[in-house]
Amino acid sequence: MTQENNRQEFLVFTLGPKRAFAITTLKVREIVTTRQFNQIPGSHPCVVGTMPLRGHTLTVIDLASAIGMRSDECRQVVVCEVQGKLFGLLVTGIDTIHYCNSNDVAAMPSRLGDSSYSSGVIRRDHDLVQVLDLERILNETVGLNANRQVEDFILTPETLSEIRGQRILICDDSRFARRQLAMVLEQHGIDYHSAPNGRAALETLQRQANAGVPIQILVSDIEMPELDGYQLATTVRGEECLKETYIILHTSLNSDVCRRYTESSGANEGLCKFDPEALLAAIARGAHHD
C-alpha cells in the first residue's frame, strides 16, 4: 500500500470454484507451494497442520473451509503476518496483485452482520473481490488473542478517572478487532464511540466537533475501506477543528510499517495489536496530552 499516493495494494487469490478474495499485501510475507503438513491433535477442523519455514513453525489454515466454503484442491500457501505472528493460509491459486485507490474499496453492508467474513469489497472492472477479515478468521480457528484480559491495577485511580473523562473514538473495519478494543474499555468502565471505517470515523469526528463536544482521543486501524487510517490521520491533522485530537494508530501490521505510517501521517502514537496494557497506557498518555 502506497499510502502517500492514496493507493492500496492487495493480493488477490482464489478459493474453491474460482471465487476471488483478497488481503492487503502489507500482511503477506511470501507464497510457497503446498507441502506435507504435520497434524495437530485436537486442533480446529480448519487447521490442516503445521509446516516448517526458515526457523518458524507455521500453523496452516484451510481458508475456504474457515469461511464456510467447500474446500477445493489447494496448492499454495500464503504466508502472512498478523498481530506479530506468522500463519499459513491454504488457497486454491494466486490471481494477481491488484492496485487501487482507497475509494475503490467499499465497506461491507452492515446488514450482513456476523454472516460475512469480509471487511470490504474491491471494485474491479469485471467483478467484485471481497477483502477478508483475517483477524476474525484467525481468532475463530487458532484463538488469536481471543480472551486477553487486563486488570485495573495497572492504572492508578487518578489516571483511570482522567481516561473516563475523555471522549474516545475507536475505528476498525474488523468486527473482531472492534470487539477487542471495546472489551478493554468496557472492562474499565470507559465510554467510547465506535466506527467501522475511516469515512464513518471522520463523519463522527466532524459531527462531534460541530456540536461543541469534540473527540479527544482517536484509536484507529490503518488498513480500512473507503478511507484508511493513514488518510484519516492526515485529514484530522489538516482540519482546524480536529487538529488537537490525540491519534493512536492501532494495527496488526508489523512494527516497522506501523512506525513509518505513524510518523508520516502525523499521528501521536502507533501500536501493534493486540496488547491491552499498551493500549490503555497510550490512551492515558492521550488523556494527559496538552
147 falls within a domain: no
Tell me: pLDDT of 49 over 90: yes
Longest dimension (CA), the chain: 60
Residues 179 and 130 in one domain: no
Do residues 169 and 215 make contact, with C-beta atoms less than 8 angstroms apart? yes
Please give the Cα distance from 204 to 168 (Å, whole number).
Answer: 11
Residues 80 and 185 in one domain: no
pLDDT grade, residue 2 (50/70/90)? very low
pLDDT in tens, 234-263: 999 999 999 999 999 998 888 888 899 999
Residues 159 and 251 in one domain: yes
Residues 122 and 59 in one domain: yes
**What is the Cα Rg of the chain in Å?**
19
Average pLDDT over all residues of the chain: 88
pLDDT of residue 253: 84
Tell me: pLDDT of 38 over 50: yes
275 falls within a domain: yes
Residue 277: give its domain's CATH number.
3.40.50.2300
Nearest CA among 28, 172, 6, 188 for reference residue 99? 6
pLDDT in tens, 93-122: 999 999 987 778 888 776 655 668 998 899
Residues 127 and 108 in one domain: yes
Residues 276 and 156 in one domain: yes
pLDDT of residue 61: 95
Of 107, 142, 177, which closes a domain? 142
Residues 74 and 191 in one domain: no
Phi/psi zone of residue 16: left (φ > 0), alpha (ψ -120 to 50 degrees), beta? left
Residues 127 and 159 in one domain: no
Tell me: pLDDT of 149 over 60: no
pLDDT of residue 114: 64
Residues 119 and 156 in one domain: no
Q: What is the mean pLDDT of residues 188-206?
A: 95
Tell me: pLDDT of 51 over 70: yes
Q: What is the mean pLDDT of residues 65-86?
A: 87
Of 108, 124, 142, which closes a domain? 142
Q: How many CB atoms lie within 10 A of CB 240?
A: 7
Tell me: pLDDT of 4 over 70: no
Total of domains in the chain: 2
Tell me: pLDDT of 277 over 80: yes
Tell me: pLDDT of 152 over 60: no
Q: pTM (2 decimals)? A: 0.85
Q: Is 106 exposed, middle or buried (0-12, 13-18, 19+ CB in 10 A)?
A: middle
DSSP string, the chain: --GGGTEEEEEEEEETTTEEEEEEGGGEEEEEE----B--TT--TTEEEEEEETTEEEEEEEHHHHTTPPP----EEEEEEETTEEEEEEESEEEEEEEEEGGGEEEPPGGGGGG--EEEEEE-SS-EEEEE-HHHHHHHHH-TTTT----GGGS-HHHHHHHHTS-EEEE-S-HHHHHHHHHHHHHTT---EEESSHHHHHHHHHHHHHTT----EEEE-SS-SSS-HHHHHHHHHHSTTTTT-EEEEEESS-HHHHHHHHHHHT-SEEEES--HHHHHHHHHHHHH--
Residues 276 and 217 in one domain: yes
Residues 182 and 277 in one domain: yes
**What domain range includes position 204?**
152-288
Of 142, 176, 195, which closes a domain? 142
Residues 231 and 115 in one domain: no
pLDDT grade, residue 6 (50/70/90)? low
Residue 62: give its domain's CATH number.
2.40.50.180
pLDDT of residue 98: 92
Residue 250's alpha-carbon distances to 43, 223, 225, in angstroms, are 29, 10, 15
pLDDT of residue 8: 84
